[in-house]
Amino acid sequence: MKAMHQLIEEQVRRWEILRKEKQKDKILPVITLSREPGSGGKLVAKAVADRLGLDLFHQELINAMADNADTTTRVIRTLDERGLSMIEDWVSAAISERHLWPDEVSRVLMRVIGAIGRHGKAIIVGRGANFVLPPENRFRIRIIAPLELRVSRVAETYSVSKKEAKRHVLRTESDRRAFVRKYFHSDIGDPANYDVILNTGTLSVESAEAAICSALG
């Protein structure tokens, strides 16, 4: 697997090339994918990205873009003046609509997500992206599954006991809920925050991917 800095470098170069070529705005909205731990959300996101030819931004990649000032600056500078103005408008709207008092960490995170959203042709996993991008630029997915099934999947994937797997699932779930509550004053589990909710307890990864692609038209 490529190192994180390599992935970021390749992505920034692709954006720089696209900017020079002045490509037209993409038709597809950016897909934001929220998932319960152990639900297989990452697998669904990859399947959708592969099928539609989208850039996939997982939580670790977004964090890496936002955690380093130089990297964040490079990401933001891949936008033209109109793009820069738009993400500032998006961030301001998100702050105003949700009555946020964001610290610098959340502002940087929202700008990185905004830059990804402005470039388009992407699927963003986690980090509250559905609360940052405006309605006309996003399609919000939530992947869920029954707790016991999620616990079993985590236990099998990481070769740990079900007891340990359950602790991991519940802790991760709590962390994600707290993150969204802290930075976006919202409930990660509220169905109103999503356009489509899919249950991988009854749907395979392939079926979930097909449902998302179908919903996108």
Mean pLDDT of all residues in 7-24: 76
DSSP H or E run through 47: helix 41-52
Instruction: Decide if pLDDT at 161 tops 70.
Output: yes
Report residue 21's pLDDT band, with 50, 70 and 90 as the boundaries. Answer: low
* 47 and 143 Cβ atoms separated by less than 8 Å: no
Average confidence score pLDDT of the chain? 89
Question: Which of 22-36, 71-85, 173-187 ranks highest by mean pLDDT?
Answer: 173-187
Q: Which pTM was predicted? A: 0.84
Q: Which amino acid is at 136?
A: E
Instruction: Decide if pLDDT at 217 tops 80.
Output: no
Non-local CB neighbours of 22 within 8 Å, separated by 6+ positions = none
Report the SS3 class of residue 196.
Answer: strand
Strand order in the sheet with 122-125: 55-57, 122-125, 30-35, 138-144, 196-199
Residue whose C-alpha is closest to residue 142's, from 31, 42, 35: 35
Mean pLDDT of all residues in 30-52: 96
Distance CA 131, CA 170 (A): 23
Higher pLDDT pick, 35 / 96: 35
Mean pLDDT of all residues in 39-64: 93
Instruction: Decide if pLDDT at 6 tops 60.
Output: yes
Instruction: Decide if pLDDT at 25 tops 70.
Output: no
pLDDT above 90 as % of the chain:
51
Check residue 32 and give its pLDDT. 96
DSSP H or E run through 124: strand 122-125
Give 86-135 pLDDT, tens digit per residue.
Answer: 888 888 887 887 777 667 778 888 889 989 988 889 999 998 899 988 88
Report residue 140's pLDDT band, with 50, 70 and 90 as the boundaries. Answer: very high
Report residue 23's pLDDT band, with 50, 70 and 90 as the boundaries. Answer: low
Mean pLDDT of all residues in 36-43: 96
